[in-house]
Amino acid sequence: MTNQDVAEKLREVYNLMQLAGENRFRAIAFDRAAQTIEGLNDEITKHLEEDTLTDIKGIGKSIAEDIRQFAETGTMPVLEDLKERVPKGLIEWLNISGLGPKNISKIHKKLGITEITELKEACQSGAVAELPGLGQKSADKIIKSIEYLEKFGERARLDQALDIADPFFKFVKNLDGVQKCEIAGSLRRSRETIGDIDIIVAANPDDAESIFDAFVDHELVVEVLGRGDTKSSVRTENGRQVDLRIVKPEEYPAALMYFTGSKEHNIVMRQRARERGMALNEYGLFKLSEEKETDFDKPVKTESEAEIYKKLDLHFVPPEHREDRGEFDFYYDHEEMELVSESDIKGVVHAHSTWSDGKYSIKEMAEACIERGYEYLTMSDHSKTAAYAGGLTIDQVKEQWEEIDNLNEQFASDKIKFRIFKSIESDILGDGSLDYPDEILEGFDFVIASVHSSLNMPLEQMMERFEKAIRNPYTRIVGHPTNRLLLKRKESKLDMNRLIEIAAEENTAIEINASPWRLDLDWRFGNKAKEAGLLTSINPDAHSTDGIDDIRYGVMIARKAKFEPARVINTKSAEQFEEWVKG
């Protein structure tokens, strides 16, 4: 049983509780417990053995007992009870834009339907429109939301979300009347997948109408979902909802903080405000009255998010760290955390060429790196077991080495300060061994070891497999450890906390695979990585010249995972990198 297994069950309880109409705060407790367990620096099984579950922040006696029951029997009584009361199909309804738990429950009870297909049919037949508090307009919106959900899915990857948000943001911030503008929500926090896009604007009320006019008329808008005095919502051609909120300039700092989230971070911030005789909400920071109520006539002047944090005895918390995962303790004591940036990256590690499944030659990949100002490239084509991806035979490996030597000689003669390193993405075989004999492995500058097969191995067997590969003297980097494909394939079962410890012991890096399909190492293990002193490499896993630019997403995740430049090996110069890989 992994931390992720427990978190998944607790989150299922949270979702079903919403649909069952349970007490909202009790439901939220399960959601917060799930988040806490995901971010533990040790395994939940240790707390079970030592009977210390209730020592974990946010785990009370009741939830601790639910976890014990799950560990002992494989089920949670609270979850089983909810499953009997709430049909499983209704959980998918929560992904339908504009359809909250109350309306879901109402439609289900009145019409006796549980599947999205049935809901769509009920909307088309007029049955939903006849229900109290809904109507034809609501039914039409539900149909459109379902159609977009069917076509595009409930969430977007980080790269997809940025492709949508960036043009809207650049457009809105340059409109007349816009004083300040920022992307908010989970995208500002650099989450790996995004639901809706949130943009916050500071403007005078007199300018709001013209700003909204321009926003809803943007060329990417295919449908206006709603328009009011302070908020307008649109849908884009690729199915995403974009919300624009306009607030008064004096409300902007608090609104930006509130709509950036996370909700867990905001809860703690509100608690800190009350402990200091103030109230914090989306409109600002206010003094409390003698009755402990918000006194809107006594605002506490703040001109930035940083000032709000300062009033609450904290240094500024970067948006990517606002997840209630230790940031309050750190930014109480420290003014800032040193974090890696794109400009720190000096080399492109983990790239594929036409030798395996890449689209461009080694020379073309190298030239693309040079154009972008990088100092080196490590070619890490697939090894022989990955025949489906053109994995290299031993003879091909030797031919590739010769090509790399020739290219490096050519760069030197042309006085181009650039180096190509010989690497391989070696498959970790089922028994943990690597994919070539030692006499070939030692010919590479270094090896990236990755799992590509038998992804559903039992936890203990998978851990033995990884541990053997990490302790192999030729392994310097572990590739995409969990093997997840975001929104497509779940991660393999791993004790990531233990894996991080093993890698740190061996001075082996675990990559942050910057492909927006992966973003793996998961940022949730950032606290453990920092505690263990784990090294990483921000690797694009580039299969094309454009793929090199995926480093952007990897840096965002590295910052969220609290990596400073010193723990990112491809911030090193070519000479320093060579020294490190030689170990």
Residue the block writes with tokens 């430049």: 565
Residues 528-554, mean pLDDT to the nearest whole number: 97
What local confidence, expressed as pLDDT, does residue 553 receive? 98
CATH value at residue 59: 1.10.150.110
Residue 475 CA to residue 328 CA, distance in Å, equals: 37
Residues 399 and 511 placed together within one structural domain of the fold:
yes
Residue 273 CA to residue 218 CA, distance in Å, equals: 39
Domain boundary among 306, 333, 360: 333
Residue type, position 453, single letter: S
264: Cβ contacts below 8 Å, ≥ 6 apart: 32, 35, 323, 324
What local confidence, expressed as pLDDT, does residue 99 receive? 79
| CA diameter of the chain | 82
Residue 115 CA to residue 123 CA, distance in Å, equals: 13
Residue 312 CA to residue 270 CA, distance in Å, equals: 9
Q: What is the pLDDT of residues 335-384, one digit of tens each?
A: 999 999 999 999 999 999 999 999 999 999 999 999 999 999 999 999 99
Alpha carbon 107 to its chain's center: 33
Residue 532 CA to residue 510 CA, distance in Å, equals: 12
Residues 194 and 123 placed together within one structural domain of the fold:
no
Residues 261-265, mean pLDDT to the nearest whole number: 91
Q: Is the peptide bond before 450 cis (omega within 30 degrees of 0)?
A: no
Q: Sheet of 475-478: strands edge to edge?
A: 347-351, 376-379, 419-427, 446-450, 475-478, 509-510
Residues 169 and 305 placed together within one structural domain of the fold:
no
Residues 31 and 160 placed together within one structural domain of the fold:
no
Q: Which two tokens stand for residue 572?
A: 């090193």
Residues 446 and 485 placed together within one structural domain of the fold:
yes
How long is the chain? 583
SS3 per residue for 311-367: HCCCCCCCHHHCCCCCHHHHHHHCCCCCCCCHHHCCEEEEECCCCCCCCCCHHHHHH
For residue 182, list its beta bridge partners.
200
Residues 575 and 526 placed together within one structural domain of the fold:
yes
Residues 392 and 517 placed together within one structural domain of the fold:
yes
Alpha carbon 122 to its chain's center: 35
Domain boundary among 221, 247, 273: 247
Residues 300-326, mean pLDDT to the nearest whole number: 97
Residues 289 and 352 placed together within one structural domain of the fold:
no
What local confidence, expressed as pLDDT, does residue 92 receive? 82
What local confidence, expressed as pLDDT, does residue 378 receive? 98
Task: Identify the weakest region by mean pLDDT among 113-117, 421-425, 549-553.
Answer: 113-117
CATH value at residue 137: 1.10.150.20
48: Cβ contacts below 8 Å, ≥ 6 apart: 67, 68, 71
Q: Which phi and psi (to 5°) does residue 202 adopt? A: -100, 125
Residues 272 and 399 placed together within one structural domain of the fold:
no
CATH value at residue 195: 3.30.460.10
Domain boundary among 197, 224, 247: 247
Residues 439 and 473 placed together within one structural domain of the fold:
yes
Residue-averaged pLDDT of the chain: 93
Instruction: Give me the helices (H) in 386-544, please.
Output: 394-413, 438-441, 459-471, 496-505, 526-532
Residue 428 CA to residue 469 CA, distance in Å, equals: 7
Q: Which two tokens stand for residue 406?
A: 């020739």
Nearest Cα to 447, choosing from 423, 415, 412? Answer: 423
Residues 96 and 206 placed together within one structural domain of the fold:
no
Q: Which two tokens stand for residue 344?
A: 């720190």
CB 518 within 8 A of CB 480: yes
Residues 184 and 299 placed together within one structural domain of the fold:
no
What local confidence, expressed as pLDDT, does residue 137 receive? 87
Domain that holds residue 101: 90-152
Number of domains in the chain: 5
CB 547 within 8 A of CB 540: yes
Helices and strands: H and E segment counts in the chain: 24, 18
Q: What is the pLDDT of residues 444-496, one digit of tens each?
A: 999 999 999 999 999 999 999 999 999 999 999 999 999 999 988 889 999 99
The pLDDT of residue 540 is above 90: yes
CATH value at residue 376: 3.20.20.140
pTM of structure: 0.85
